[in-house]
C-alpha cells in the first residue's frame, strides 16, 4: 500500500443493498460484504467503493442522509463497518465511501432545527428564501430530477421556501455558513479515524450557489446539469467557490496520509471538468461523458481525446462503464461487446471503476411496475453469485435477473474463457504493467470501426465492429500479444496488416525503436514529467 495508490487503482463499486445479505432479510448488508471480500481480492481490485449505508428515510435510496456518523440498522452497525474495514485491509483492499455533502435528509436533526423557526441558530445551515412576488418559488432553478420540477419547496409553517437540488426530501446545505463547514469537517474526520481510505464526493460541483439567488440566464434555465456554455454559467452549480471547499477537504485528507477523493462532477464541458481534479482539490473525477457514448469507436476516441487535450499532464480521470445510476454495459451495448468495453476501461490512462456484476456480464433487470421504486432499480438488482442466486436465504428486495442460473460467479470462476476471467487477466496485467500504470496515452489513426491507442510501449487495438477488420499499423512489422479478448490469440502477430476478429480487443507489445508515433518532434505525453519529455 504505497503512496498515491489511487493513480493506477481499480475500484470496485458495491451497492450495499444488493451485494450480499447475511441475515436473510432480503437486503444486502455490511457483514455480507465482509463475507464476499475474497471475490474482490480474486478479481484484483485495489479498493471497494460503497454507496451510502447511513441512516436514511430512503427518499433517494440513501443519498438522503439523516445521520452522517452511523450505519442504518438494515445494513448493520458501526462495529460491522469496522470489521469490514479490517477484513478489507487485511486483504490489501482499500475502502472508499460515498459522502453526500450537498444536502441532507429532511429528517436530519440539523434540518429539523432549521425549519422549526426562522430565528433558530441552524436556520442558515440551509438555503431559505421568501416567495416571489406572485407567491411562487424564489427563482427559476430546477431540481436535477425532472419529476420534481422546481428546486424549491414551500414550508408552510415558516412561510419560506427551502432549496432542494434533488427531491424535496433532500434540502441543500448552505456551504457559505462556516458552521456547516465545521460540522462537515467532523464528519470527514469521523470516518477517516475509522480507517476509511477516501471519499467519493456526490455531486461535488453543486456545493455552492449564487448568494443572491439570481435566476439562471434564459439560455441555460432549462438545463438540469452543466452543459457546454463557455460564457453563460448556471448560478446553482459549478461556481468557482466550490473549489475552496474541495481544497479544504484535500487538506484534511492529506493530514491523514495516503487518502484520496473521487468526484462525481456531471459537467459536459471538458475544460471545466478538468479543473476539478489533478490539482490541490480532488485527486480524480469521473469522466461522465465516457459512459454516455454510443457503441462507436469514433465516439469514444473523441470523448477520450477531448478530455486528454484539456487535462494537466499529471492529472488522471476515472473511467467507469456503469454505476448505480447508469444502465449496465450488457444492456446498453450487448454481451458480445462487453469484453472490448472491459479492455478499453482497464487500459486507458486513468483510474478504473468496476460496478459490481459487470465482471460477470450482469444485465439490467427492470422489476415489475408494482415493484419499481426508483426508475433505476434495473441496474441495482442483487449480485448473482451462483445458480440459485446466492444473494440471500430470504426474499430479495428486488427480483434477481432471469439469467442468474447461467450468469453468475460460480459458473464463470473456473471457465478460462469467461468474462470474469478476462477481467481477472486484464486487472492482473494492468497491475504488473509499467506502461499501463505510468505510460502516456496517444490515440492512433485506424479504421472507423477501431479505437487504437498507444500506452508507452503497448498498442491497444479495439474492434467495435461485429465483423473482422484489418489495417496497417505504422512502425513495427509485428507485435507480441500480451492480452487478448480471445484465448487463442497469442505469440507474435503481423501489424501489416493487423487483423482483428469481430468484437476483438488486443494489447500488443511493440519494440521501442519502431513504436508508432515514437520520437515525434515536441511530443509531450500526458503523465510525462519534464525530464521524460526532454529530448
Q: Mean of the per-residue pLDDT values for the chain?
A: 93
* Coil, helix or strand at residue 250: helix
Q: 274 and 312 in contact (C-beta within 8 Å)?
A: yes
* C-alpha angle 176-64-86 in degrees, rounded to nearest 5: 100
pLDDT band at 164 (very low <50, low <70, confident <90, very high): very high
Q: State residue 519's pLDDT score.
A: 36
* pLDDT > 90 fraction of the chain, expressed in percent and rounded: 89
Asked if residue 153 has pLDDT above 80, the reply is yes
- Same domain, residue pair 444 and 373: no
The size of the chain, in residues, is 535
Q: State residue 424's pLDDT score.
A: 98
The residues with which 162 forms a beta bridge, in sequence order, are 128, 153
Among candidate residues 392, 411, 432, the one where a domain is terminated? 432
Q: State residue 514's pLDDT score.
A: 47
- Same domain, residue pair 322 and 374: yes
First to last CA, the chain: 34
Asked if residue 102 has pLDDT above 80, the reply is yes
- Same domain, residue pair 91 and 128: no
171 found inside a domain: no
Q: State residue 530's pLDDT score.
A: 31
What is the average pLDDT across 149-175? 98
- Same domain, residue pair 215 and 327: yes
385 found inside a domain: yes
- Same domain, residue pair 19 and 72: yes
Smallest CA-to-CA distance from 126 within 117, 137, 139 is with 117
| Residue with cell string 432480503 | 26
Asked if residue 528 has pLDDT above 60, the reply is no
Q: State residue 366's pLDDT score.
A: 85
Q: How far apart are alpha carbons 437 and 481 in whole angstroms?
A: 18
What is the total count of domains within the chain? 3
Q: State residue 374's pLDDT score.
A: 72
Model confidence pLDDT, tens digit, residues 55-96 = 999 999 999 999 999 999 999 999 999 999 999 999 999 999
- Same domain, residue pair 247 and 365: yes
pLDDT band at 372 (very low <50, low <70, confident <90, very high): low
Q: State residue 375's pLDDT score.
A: 79
Residue scoring higher pLDDT (228 or 226): 226
Q: Is the peptide bond before 497 cis (omega within 30 degrees of 0)?
A: yes
Provide the residue range defining the domain that includes 51: 5-102+178-432
**C-alpha cell at position 483:** 492480452
Q: State residue 225's pLDDT score.
A: 85
Output the CA–CA distances (angstroms, integers) from residue 436 to 68, 262, 523, in the order listed. Answer: 37, 20, 19
Asked if residue 512 has pLDDT above 70, the reply is no
170 found inside a domain: no
CATH code of the domain containing 159: 3.90.400.10
- Same domain, residue pair 336 and 473: no
- Same domain, residue pair 338 and 266: yes
What is the average pLDDT across 271-282? 95
Q: State residue 370's pLDDT score.
A: 67
384 found inside a domain: yes
Write out the catalytic residue numbers.
202, 264
- Same domain, residue pair 298 and 223: yes
Smallest CA-to-CA distance from 508 within 447, 458, 449 is with 458
- Same domain, residue pair 415 and 485: no
Model confidence pLDDT, tens digit, residues 391-426 = 999 999 999 999 999 999 999 999 999 999 999 999
CATH code of the domain containing 515: 2.60.40.1180
What is the average pLDDT across 434-447? 95
CATH code of the domain containing 265: 3.20.20.80
What is the average pLDDT across 348-361? 98
Asked if residue 272 has pLDDT above 90, the reply is yes
219 found inside a domain: yes
Among candidate residues 408, 432, 456, the one where a domain is terminated? 432
Model confidence pLDDT, tens digit, residues 42-57 = 999 999 999 999 999 9
Model confidence pLDDT, tens digit, residues 114-129 = 999 999 999 999 999 9
- Same domain, residue pair 154 and 259: no
Q: State residue 516's pLDDT score.
A: 47
169 found inside a domain: no
288 found inside a domain: yes
Model confidence pLDDT, tens digit, residues 7-42 = 999 999 999 999 999 999 999 999 999 999 999 999
Q: State residue 230's pLDDT score.
A: 65
pTM above 0.85, yes or no: yes
- Same domain, residue pair 198 and 294: yes
* C-alpha angle 240-244-246 in degrees, rounded to nearest 5: 105
Q: Which residues contact 215 (CB under 8 A, 6 or more apart)?
A: 139, 140, 141, 221, 235
What is the average pLDDT across 328-356? 98
Q: 437 and 409 in contact (C-beta within 8 Å)?
A: no
pLDDT band at 474 (very low <50, low <70, confident <90, very high): confident
pLDDT band at 232 (very low <50, low <70, confident <90, very high): confident
Q: 507 and 429 in contact (C-beta within 8 Å)?
A: yes
Amino acid at each position: 500500500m504505497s503512496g498515491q495508490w489511487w493513480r493506477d487503482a481499480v475500484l470496485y463499486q458495491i451497492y450495499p443493498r444488493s451485494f450480499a445479505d447475511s441475515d436473510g432479510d432480503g437486503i444486502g448488508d455490511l457483514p455480507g460484504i465482509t463475507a464476499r471480500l475474497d471475490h474482490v481480492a480474486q478479481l484484483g481490485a485495489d479498493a471497494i467503493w460503497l454507496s451510502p449505508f447511513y441512516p436514511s428515510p430512503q427518499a433517494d435510496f440513501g443519498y438522503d442522509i439523516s445521520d452522517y456518523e452511523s450505519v442504518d440498522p438494515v445494513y448493520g452497525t458501526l462495529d460491522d463497518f469496522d470489521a469490514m474495514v479490517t477484513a478489507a485491509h487485511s486483504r490489501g483492499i482499500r475502502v472508499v465511501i460515498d459522502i453526500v455533502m450537498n444536502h441532507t435528509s429532511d429528517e436530519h436533526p440539523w434540518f429539523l432545527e432549521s425549519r422549526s423557526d426562522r430565528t433558530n441558530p441552524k436556520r442558515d445551515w440551509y438555503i431559505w428564501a421568501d416567495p416571489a412576488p406572485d407567491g411562487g418559488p424564489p427563482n427559476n432553478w430546477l431540481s436535477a430530477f425532472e419529476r420534481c420540477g422546481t428546486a424549491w419547496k414551500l414550508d408552510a409553517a415558516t412561510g419560506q421556501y427551502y432549496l432542494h437540488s434533488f427531491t424535496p426530501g433532500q434540502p441543500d446545505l448552505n456551504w457559505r455558513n462556516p458552521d456547516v463547514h465545521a460540522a462537515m469537517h467532523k464528519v470527514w474526520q469521523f470516518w477517516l479515524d475509522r480507517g476509511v481510505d477516501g471519499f467519493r464526493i456526490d455531486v461535488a460541483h453543486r456545493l455552492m450557489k449564487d448568494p443572491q439567488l439570481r435566476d439562471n440566464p434564459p439560455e441555460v434555465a432549462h438545463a438540469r446539469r452543466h452543459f457546454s456554455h463557455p460564457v453563460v454559467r448556471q448560478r446553482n452549480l459549478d461556481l468557482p467557490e466550490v473549489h475552496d471547499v474541495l481544497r479544504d477537504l484535500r487538506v484534511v485528507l492529506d493530514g491523514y496520509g495516503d487518502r484520496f477523493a473521487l468526484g462525481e462532477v456531471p459537467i459536459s464541458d471538458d475544460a471545466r471538468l478538468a479543473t476539478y481534479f489533478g490539482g490541490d482539490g480532488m485527486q480524480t473525477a469521473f469522466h461522465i461523458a465516457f459512459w454516455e457514448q454510443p457503441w462507436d469507436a469514433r465516439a469514444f476516441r473523441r470523448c477520450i481525446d477531448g478530455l486528454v487535450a484539456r487535462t494537466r499532464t499529471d492529472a488522471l480521470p476515472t473511467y467507469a462503464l456503469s454505476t448505480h445510476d447508469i444502465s449496465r454495459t450488457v444492456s446498453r451495448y450487448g454481451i458480445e461487446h462487453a469484453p472490448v468495453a472491459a479492455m478499453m476501461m482497464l487500459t486507458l490512462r486513468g483510474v478504473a471503476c468496476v460496478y459490481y456484476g459487470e465482471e460477470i456480464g450482469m444485465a439490467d433487470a427492470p422489476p415489475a411496475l408494482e415493484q419499481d421504486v426508483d426508475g433505476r432499480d434495473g441496474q441495482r438488482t442483487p449480485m448473482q453469485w451462483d445458480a440459485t442466486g446466492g444473494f440471500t436465504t430470504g426474499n430479495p428486495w428486488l427480483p434477481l435477473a432471469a439469467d442468474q442460473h447461467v450468469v453468475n460467479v460460480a459458473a464463470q470462476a473456473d471457465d478460462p474463457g469467461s468474462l470474469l476471467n478476462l477481467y481477472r487477466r486484464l486487472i492482473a496485467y494492468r497491475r504488473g504493467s509499467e506502461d499501463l500504470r505510468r505510460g502516456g496515452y496517444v490515440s492512433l489513426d485506424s479504421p472507423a470501426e477501431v479505437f487504437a491507442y498507444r500506452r508507452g510501449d503497448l498498442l491497444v487495438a479495439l474492434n467495435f465492429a461485429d465483423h473482422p477488420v484489418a489495417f496497417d499499423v505504422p512502425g513495427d512489422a509485428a507485435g507480441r500479444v500480451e492480452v487478448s479478448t480471445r484465448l487463442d490469440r497469442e505469440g507474435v502477430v503481423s501489424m501489416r496488416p493487423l487483423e482483428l476478429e469481430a468484437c476483438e480487443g488486443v494489447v500488443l507489445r511493440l519494440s521501442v525503436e519502431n513504436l508508432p508515433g515514437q520520437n515525434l518532434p515536441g511530443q509531450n505525453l500526458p503523465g510525462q514529467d519534464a525530464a521524460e519529455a526532454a529530448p
